[in-house]
Structure 1
């Protein structure tokens, strides 16, 4: 399911991909309002992580179960956030669960990727202090896989394989040293590549990445949340051999590109901020990428008024549909 903005200010609603239906009457928890960043986790179906900024140096993190109203939200300790406020809007924090907090109240782990996607932190259920890890690399995703944590656009398949997904973005040609307006120059998804991660059976080290031309009946869901995988045949209307994606790159308004040309999510690029106000292009880069022919179609089209709001996110339901 896709959590999308609502016409009501500060609200979100759910859209079913397989049913192509918006559940207007399903009321989401208060923590899911559109002023907060949210992230779904496939390891814990039904759970969202809501992140909000407190000042310029701390983030509040709350675990919320969307479909079980009798479950009390879990408030985690405040997370250190040593960055200027506009970075919270530009690079959405991604928080991922290792397991369902209800079934594993003292044995689940939370990992946060945040602070200009160069920092991560870990905490176990019941602990009161985060463990921080400085990573000198550019990554936007993490996954718990066979009791280890890996970073990148990563997704575990229904058969237990680990896939590495690369997203390639394209931007309109901009003359060097040219200052542009955000409405005329946006990054758009051009294509994806999918690789199977091959491990050494002896020491579980990564041996190679093998590019896959097809993922068969699988459908992948990527964006500003935990990457997910389902068998398309289990969800009528879901396209197999496809990647469903949402917008997870929010550009700055009135900026200058330091390095022009096409980029992909594995390349480090820089933006120089020229004004005090950060302007969002909005979560408009969404679609379905077909691995067989490279075509892109739409799964849900947002309205123009959806600019300057947090992007839509994927959430794994506890069951197929809400009735």
Structure 2
């Protein structure tokens, strides 16, 4: 029996080696033709296949959907009291439902998603990372002092009852006695993004929070038990993004502050603080539509480039897409039930020229597609 065992091990080792040495470009081409379930199965073959599968799964844009009950009882827009039970895979145009929805999906507030991980905030202001496909949970240090919250307890109505520290930090904000999940995102934590995703031992990652009405940025490195509040010079901020070991923060005055983040010891180093000239084309467009629209800004990393996305949002839009002002709504012609409160009607995209330190307008995204919003903005291949 011992001889057979040794012989079997000798025959298995070369086979495993052949799988690991499969040409990367060819392997990636094959994996790009697999659906989600097939990729999950292929990941178990060997280390190299597992790494590639992890990369592809985390890069697929997923839409987290409300529960079936929520959709049946309403329009699915109120996500304050119910949870999320399904994920829409845009690559396959298919819904994947969770057989057993974790309690975190209904009891906690989702404050961000990044690199295939979700970020939740539970009672007592304790955040954690959660991977819905691996069912892995990583506890993070409390953010009670960071947010100025002494108590955050969920009541029977699904809202969070709040109590504040008697400090200057807490007095800067509205002191709600209770708030919904949506209000938590609006007032306390606006964005949560990973600098690096956790490795197999759940180490060597970093998480960044944009919080307190977008006025503060905090950083946590794995292995530490605290949050570091970054020295921010131009709050409030429109967006933040991690690229490599660097954090970029875009402020309302079109400045970008850059910090180098270290996951090993949690150190933070300020690298630059540059105010860029706002693109003339977008400024001209805004001036022509100032009474009927607003702008929102995003940072996106795409193929090594840093992109600046300007989103034009109509305050009120008619059914045929016509932009309306508040005055128009009072007229008889526009007093129509099919008037939307707002609608995105235009995007401008620019690329950073690091040598000239200016934004360069882009005419096309090529084979890329951009996903922007309250969570980490991402760039993916348009041929999903």
TM range (shorter): 0.5 to 0.7
Whether the 8 Å CA contact 1:28–1:66 is kept in 2: the answer is no
Q: Hey, what's the Cα distance between the residues in 1 that align with 2:123 and 2:353?
A: 38
Within 5 Å, give how 1:44-55 maps onto structure 2.
46-52=116-122, 54=124
Identify if the C-alpha distance between structure 1 residues 53 and 121 changes in structure 2 by more than 3 Å, giving closer, same or farther. Answer: farther
Which structure is larger by alpha-carbon Rg, 1 or 2?
A: 2
Please state how far the C-alpha of 1:61 moved relative to its aligned partner.
1.2
Q: Which runs of 4+ in 1 moved over 6 A?
A: none
The equivalent of 2:54 in structure 1 is none
Secondary structure class of the residue paired with 2:184: helix
Identify if the C-alpha distance between structure 1 residues 167 and 26 changes in structure 2 by more than 3 Å, giving closer, same or farther. Answer: farther
Identify if the C-alpha distance between structure 1 residues 4 and 108 changes in structure 2 by more than 3 Å, giving closer, same or farther. Answer: same
The equivalent of 2:345 in structure 1 is 190
Whether the 8 Å CA contact 1:5–1:34 is kept in 2: the answer is no
Secondary structure class of the residue paired with 1:141: strand
Please state how far the C-alpha of 1:104 moved relative to its aligned partner.
7.0
Please state how far the C-alpha of 1:89 moved relative to its aligned partner.
4.6
Instruction: Pick from 60, 66, 89 the counterpart of residue 16 of structure 1.
Output: 89
Q: Hey, what's the Cα distance between the residues in 1 that align with 2:101 and 2:307?
A: 31
The equivalent of 1:107 in structure 2 is 204
Whether the 8 Å CA contact 1:61–1:77 is kept in 2: the answer is yes
Instruction: Pick from 287, 304, 310 the counterpart of residue 166 of structure 1.
Output: 310
Identify if the C-alpha distance between structure 1 residues 149 and 163 changes in structure 2 by more than 3 Å, giving closer, same or farther. Answer: same
The equivalent of 2:110 in structure 1 is 37
Unaligned runs of 5+ in 1: 201-205, 236-323
Q: Which has the higher helix share?
A: 2
Instruction: State yes or no: 1:62 paired with 2:115.
Output: no
State the number of aligned residues: 215
Identify if the C-alpha distance between structure 1 residues 121 and 217 changes in structure 2 by more than 3 Å, giving closer, same or farther. Answer: same
TM-score (norm 1): 0.59
Q: Deviations over 1:245-276 (max 9, x none)?
A: xxxxxxxxxxxxxxxxxxxxxxxxxxxxxxxx
Secondary structure class of the residue paired with 2:361: strand
Q: Hey, what's the Cα distance between the residues in 2 that align with 1:48 and 1:116?
A: 21
The equivalent of 2:381 in structure 1 is 231
TM-score (norm 2): 0.50
Whether the 8 Å CA contact 2:111–2:185 is kept in 1: the answer is no
Q: Pairwise CA RMSD of aligned residues?
A: 2.8
